[in-house]
Each structure stands twice: as C-alpha cells, then as structure tokens.
Chains A and B, each alone.
Chain A
C-alpha cells in the first residue's frame, strides 16, 4: 500500500462574490495517479485546478502537497516565495491556450530552458543539450530549437508547453483542457504523448477536461463536477461504465452537450 498522498485536498471552496466557483472539494491523489476532472462548462473545474496549483487563493480548505524537502505542507498557507518555488520545481501547469503558458517572444529552446535557468542552471551548453533532448521527447525536430512558438502549429505549441514544464522533473502536472481547440487527429497524438510521459516519468497528474474520451484514455480516477460541487468520484472505468449520480448518467449518455 502507498501511504502518503502526493496531494491531499480538504474542503476547498472558492466563491466569486456571492457566486460559487467550487465548493467543499476533498480528495487524495497518490503518487503516479492521474485524476480526471469532468463537468460541463462553468461547473468549477478551472477554479478548482487554479486553487490547487496556487494560481488562485481558496476561501477555505487545505491543499497539502508532499514536498520533497519538507514532506506534507499546506500550500495555501505557505509563503508566496515557497509556493512559487514549488511551481517551478515540483509542479507543472499546462494551459489550454499555449500562449498563456509559453513566452511567444522567446525561441523554443529558450522556452524550455527558462525553468532550468530559474533554478540556477548557468551553463549554456548544458541548457541547450537538455532543451534539445526535451524537444525530441515531445517530437519536435531539433532544427526548430531557435524558432519562436508563433511559427509552430497548435499541436506543436502544446507539446512545447509540455516540454517547458517537464524539463525540471516535476512530480505533479496540472492540465486545463490540454487538447481543447486542437483537431481530433492532433488531439490523439498529444494524448498518446502525454500518456507515455506520465508512464515513463511516473508522474501524477490532474487533468481538467469536458471530453470524456480524454479521461477514458488518461485518468485512473475521475471526479464529476456540477455547479461547483463534486457529485461523484471513483475509478474511471467504474464511473463511466456504471455511473451512480443522475448527472453523471446524463453526461455519459451524452445527453448533455458538454
């Protein structure tokens, strides 16, 4: 049995004024696990993800992360420098829109190298070698290393964003609709790649999506959200094949347009 969760979320809530973003969410994520969060647009998936990744301060609740250095720590109450350090070293965040997660004015190599330099890498040759290696791992030709992301296709930009995030060997990856806006064939390739990386690196991940095919392929466990609340959670196959909550049943039978 694995004992300590990598991430332990307890009673996380976030309101926007009187409006609910997400409410009283609790779950544990164990090392190597991939958790999917599904639900229709506006159900609070991004709000929850942003609360867990330190982009948004929850109104209530704890987000306890098992840090390499000091063991379990509540990232909500830790200092901002500590949290930002975690987000550069132990976490990765893949945005839906690559331009939110990339520096468009910087070459592909510079984008990948930034996190290395942010944690103190000062050897150009080493940084370049690592960037080259990572471009290869996300199937971007080495010949594009000095090109800016603006010259890349949508799928390539997304893969570059992944390389830029994984280069420092994080343990937990947050992804918000990583395949949103991509063509179906491009989506499939990206999902394959993500699945391979998660497996090879033993990553844990939390993937927000409204696409059930994405979670079917990637997620070990699933959380279903509606109006800011988690209405059902469990093993992916169980939830999708034998949904208990009425809302999940609608979702799975694709009666709902999500």
Chain B
C-alpha cells in the first residue's frame, strides 16, 4: 500500500512539473545540461538523489520499476531505492529488464536492448565532462555554447601520453547528435555503444549538481577518440563463468579464500535469463 503521508512518488506535483519541464527541455536539446532545483530527498547524495527525482517525475501508477546498481538488482542501494518507490508510489517493481517500463541505473546499461516505451534513468555524480581540466563553471558553460571541445581531446591525449592508450574506462565522453559533449555517467565504456540509437528514452539526473540531461530515442551518440587511437568498447577477455555469455560486461569475483576467482555477468537479470534458457558456463554448479 502507498504510504499516505506522501504524495504519489514522494515529490509534490509542483516539483514534479518543474522536473518534467527540465526533462522536456533536455529531450529537446539532446546532451545539453539543464539546471533544475534539486530537492532534498530522504537519502544522502551519492545514493542517486538525481536519478530518484527524475524517476519520481516520470513514474505513473501503472509503471513497473526496476533498479540496478552496477548491473545488480540486489545491492543495498538498489533495494532501498526500489522499496522507496514501492512505499511512496505503490507501484509494481521487477528485476526483469524486459518487464520494466522505467529502469533506474547506477554504473551500467542493461545488456538486453531496450525497446520503445521504456525509460532508462541514470544516476549521475558529475555531469560536466569538461570539469576535469576546466574547473570554472562559467568557462565550461561557454565552451558548450560555443562548441569549443578541444579540451576533451586534451584529456584523451594525456591518457595516451601517460599510458600508451586511452585508459579512460568509464565515464567516457561522448558527442550527442554532432553537437553537445556529454558525460554518460560512470558506466563502463563497454556500454557506450548502447547509448546510441537506443529505442528507449534515456534520462540523466545529477542531484547534488542540480542538472538533468537527456537522450531522446534513436539519438546518435559517438564516443570521442583519435584517428590513430580509435574508441574500443573493451571488456575482460573471458566468457561468463555461469552463463557462458561472450558479449556481456563481466565482473571479476573472488570465490574462495585461496585466491580462486571467476568472471560473471555484471547484469544479473541477463545472466539469470540465459541460465534459465539452458546456457551453462564452465564455473556453473
């Protein structure tokens, strides 16, 4: 049952309207960071308060909600956000990517391609991709408005100079629809290609920084690179120990106290669905 002390999905209607306006503006200008008046949420920053506010603004009573944290539905963070909306909105929740209409995520994009009608909400800690080299907000705003993005390549140049290759492996910068450079949130760069041409609506919420940005369905999203150091969506060169998937992002997990380890899908729903369909990895019991 919905907790009657709260409005549907916790935030009052006026706040939700304000957030929806920011979302609509973000969808109209893909990749552009729209300021919004972030509200105090009953959880600390770093727990996805930006994503939670965006979810609250888009959820409807008949939505089915999924939350993933690093690909998993069962971390403390994911469980607490899911139960927050069960309590304040009384909505159905799920761990199935396919069944979900709204998915809030931290650090991953589901392996299964999303479909039209689905919304993916990213939790964003630092929305400004240029901040690393230019801390002045007045200057980064100007750089975006004038499309002065040379600095983004300086960051990649520094990577190659130091490591011999582009070592940035998450929060890897992208250019949206040939215009705005955007931080895709700290997802592994393996996930970057999934942002492009996705059928789903993708929304990004940064609570502490008070920014929302968005990708409408089928946006063109290109990862920045050099001609002689092209972008690569890399992952661990293994297959999943449980479901044998070759093409999913893997976590390395320690399995015993004598240094035994295995690689398993980070997307737990994807892995379980494959195992249910009979796929079996070399470490599966």
Contact = CB atoms under 8 A, between A and B. Distances in A.
A123 B228 contact: yes
Contacts of A122: 153, 226-227
B253 interface: no
A145 B162 CA distance: 11
B158 A106 contact: yes
Given A105-B133, A114-B154, A118-B150, A146 B162 contact: yes
A145 B160 CA distance: 13
A16 interface: no
Contacts of A123: 226-228
A81 B146 contact: yes
B227 A110 contact: no
Contact of A127 (B148, B151, B157): B157
What is the size category of the interface that chain B forms with chain A?
A: 10 to 19
Interface in A101-126: 103, 105-107, 109-110, 113-115, 117-119, 122-125
B17 interface: no
B228 A119 contact: no
Contacts of A81: 146
B158 A84 contact: no
B215 to A, nearest CB: 24
Interface in A129-178: 145-146
A113 B159 CA distance: 13
A116 to B, nearest CB: 8
Contacts of B227: 122-124
Nearest to A124: B226
B276 interface: no
A128 to B, nearest CB: 8
Interface in B140-174: 146, 148, 150-151, 153-154, 157-158, 160-162
A110 B158 contact: yes
B229 interface: yes
A80 interface: yes
A107 B160 CA distance: 11
A106 B155 CA distance: 8
B162 A114 contact: no
A106 B226 contact: no
A118 B152 CA distance: 9
B150 A103 contact: no
B162 A124 contact: no
Contacts of A80: 146
A113 B133 CA distance: 14
A113 B157 contact: yes
Contact of A109 (B133, B148, B161): B161
Given A122-B226, A123-B228, A124-B228, A106 B146 contact: no
A146 B161 contact: yes
A122 B160 CA distance: 13
A32 to B, nearest CB: 29
Contact of A124 (B146, B150, B151, B229): B229
A228 B263 CA distance: 71
Contacts of A114: 150-151, 154
A91 to B, nearest CB: 15
Contacts of A115: 150
Given A103-B133, A103-B154, A118-B148, 14 more contacts: A81-B146, A84-B148, A110-B161, A113-B154, A115-B150, A117-B150, A117-B153, A117-B157, A118-B150, A123-B226, A124-B227, A124-B229, A146-B161, A146-B162
16 contacts: A106-B133, A106-B154, A109-B161, A110-B154, A113-B157, A114-B151, A114-B154, A117-B151, A117-B153, A122-B226, A122-B227, A123-B227, A123-B228, A124-B226, A124-B229, A146-B161
